[in-house]
Structure 1
Amino acid sequence: MPSSEDPTVIFEQERARLVRLAYRMLGSVGEAEDVVQDAWLRWRQVDHAGVASAGAFLSRTVTRLCLDVMKSARVRRETYFGTWLPEPVAMAPDEAPGDDLTLTLMLALERLSPLERAAFLLHDVFAVPLGEVATTLQREPPAVRQLAARARKHVQSARPRFPVEREEGARIAKAFFEASATGDVAALRGMLADSVVVHSDGGGKVLAFPRPIIGIDKVTRMFEGIARKAWIQDAEKLQDLWIDGLPGYFSLEPGGMLQTVALDIQNGLIVGIYFTRNPDKLQRMAMQFGGAPGAPAPH
């Protein structure tokens, strides 16, 4: 790096990309920000004149820090109560997506080994040259190529062949909220694919379904049970959003419960519904888009 460049300025120029990389590795904004802060502390201590590429050096540092964090994160996931979903990262409907890595793909990445995940993200998502990925992972290039190829094969089925258009996604998300808030189960059923799956993450702290609900009949019965509770009609949508690349919204449910809802839509029908209700994962959303602290809803 030329000595005339300010290391602080260089780091700040890279920060957003580094946080995005760390978040894709870890599924937690808080942990991602901690990793990037740790990388900043290390960046301050190096001889910058000897760094040929600041971007490569920082990507390498963040990736290795994430691999260390993932060791303990995997232990926590094994003891996590119920379904684990990534901390939602949202953008307004008119914002351009940063990449094509959706919530469904992030969940597919969870099934990979840490090295496979790192190789796939660096090479396929962040376009890091294979040789640099090999240096980062301290592996030979042929081994890294195999890691990335295995990861690509595993996540291939999670990539939709025809991603939903933004207008159609917003329309279906709006109709889904209105039908679920009013208890219109017939309308809801008309939006669902036969193989629809509901995932609900409460982290053991608020009311949520501990296991996925699979199939249109079971999901419809679930909504019928919810519709019988009159208080559900007090739900308030706070913001239409795209959540980790999927159309959805942020809402304030009866009893002060915050939640995000993301919809995986294929061929005009909803194939996946992702409710994130764990209040620990919604603190940033509440600060960004409004809403009260999460609390258990009446039941």
Structure 2
Amino acid sequence: MDSSVSQADLDGPNRKRQEMERSASSLSQAHFQGPNQKRQKMDSELSLSKLSGSSLTLANCYVTEVLAFPRSLAVFRNDILHWNATCWLERFPIPQLAMRKIADHCKIPTLHKWQICEFKGSERSNEEFSDIPEIRLLVVFPHMKKSFDSEEVQKRWTDEIVLPSIYRHVISGIRQYLPTSYQLLRLNSQVKRMELGLDVRDTPSCVSFRSDSLERTWTDIMSKAQESGFEEFAGAFLVALGQWHPTYTIGNSTAEAWRSLGSAWDMEMDMTYIPAESFEVRMESQFRLAPTV
């Protein structure tokens, strides 16, 4: 009996103490949460009241990207082509949305980067490594299975398709300055890397040449790609991808943004060779809050 009474005497105060602690904790929690909830509500109402008395006005626009599908190399107004001869080097990433648009164009569910070749270089390709050409020219191989990254595929593309097509449409005086094979291109690139003391895979090499007909050069490339034994290159097509720094094309309206870019685009690209329905422009706009009158 004494033991039971003693245990009850001990348990009673313990329960009361626990209840008091829980009550104090609840009061403390309510004390801190209450002001916070009120403050959040007031901040929300204040923000909404500011927005309701204001309107968005266009501050500026700029072109971020142009995507087009030329029918020929003749899309370039200059008859000098800067060919990216070091096709084995990974150059610059392609935006995911552009990849999606290109896949839609050739009606395939997924397009991989190893199905794309960076065909055009620039005058700066031999000196600088980080400059993205403002207008890039890509060749897309929708039926490529082996991966263009493999040396076997790149060698066939260069030695059996591209170089013979180029040689047929340049004057004899220029041929002596052109590379004769994929292997020689690789060796030259590696030697240049060693001479410059660069810790990179290889150095980019751009071969510039004047053609009597860039249109016929591309026709020959496509004709060879359709022959038996070249199935991985069949159905190849060109993609022009233009990308600019926002400050280059900035304007106070979409029309002004396009005008700021249009002259540069027209100077380099001939729209005669670009189907109008394949031409897409991406713009970004910036807005500011302005009080309503």
* TM-score, structure 2 as length reference: 0.22
* TM-score, structure 1 as length reference: 0.22
Q: Determine which structure has more spread, i.e. the larger CA radius of gyration.
A: 2
* RCO higher in structure (CA 8 A, sep ≥6): 2
